[in-house]
Amino acid sequence: KQEVTQIPAALSVPEGENLVLNCSFTDSAIYNLQWFRQDPGKGLTSLLLIQSSQREQTSGRLNASLDKSSGRSTLYIAASQPGDSATYLCAGGGFQKLVFGTGTRLLVSP
Amino acid sequence: NAGVTQTPKFQVLKTGQSMTLQCAQDMNHNSMYWYRQDPGMGLRLIYYSASEGTTDKGEVPNGYNVSRLNKREFSLRLESAAPSQTSVYFCATDRLAANTGELFFGEGSRLTVL
């Protein structure tokens, strides 16, 4: 059974810092790995989707990597801003069995 | 373009009452999903529908039923609500079948069962 773990559970950084969020999964046979952002009281917004044949995806200040052999994905946020404060969740996908981590709660202070 | 719309946004029920959560999407996606989100447990799949007319159980289906009314609408019904069903419920869709595409979520329905 796929298990997805995110460490740390919470992270606080000053504005402008580059940071890395970690996601690990137990079953390397995944179709894709997705990163989401969730603001308090809101739904999830997809940030990046990495298919199993890919190693990374980039969108603006965000870069996500996927290493299936080690069971790890990282989300890199460059030059963090207070508006980046949110909970970030990763999810590893199998056949109609997307398994979510519990998220990293990020606070970026001005 | 509303994307994925869930109703109601908030609901309080008494134990044993029934209710239906509604989800509608205007993205012309085939697959639709119902998840629940509980503190410390992440999102868990309740039911999904790969296409109109089909539904399948997810990880935590007990106490729930679903209906894929048409391509746009996917409803989740609680026949006899229990306090353990207090949660935030999310509907989601993806463009490709088999959960291989990008997921789009609704804003959530917050349910409290007393």
What's the rounded Cα separation, in Å, for the pair B43 and B51?
A: 22
A11 part of contact set with chain B, CB < 8 Å = no
Residues 6+ apart with CB under 8 A from A9: A102, A103, A104, A105
Asked whether A63 and A10 are in contact (CB, 8 A), the reply is no
Q: Do B43 and A91 touch (CB under 8 A)?
A: yes
A6 vs A56, A76, A95, B17, B61, CA distance in Å? 18, 14, 22, 36, 25
Q: Which of A41, A46, A102 sits opposite B102 (nearest CB)?
A: A46
What is the structure's pLDDT at B69?
A: 87
Residues of A with CB below 8 A from B92's CB? 44
Chain A residues 72-101 with CB within 8 Å of chain B: 89, 91, 93-101
Confidence of residue B103 (pLDDT cuts 50, 70, 90): confident
For A27-61, what is each residue's pLDDT tens digit?
Answer: 888 888 999 999 998 999 999 999 888 999 999 99
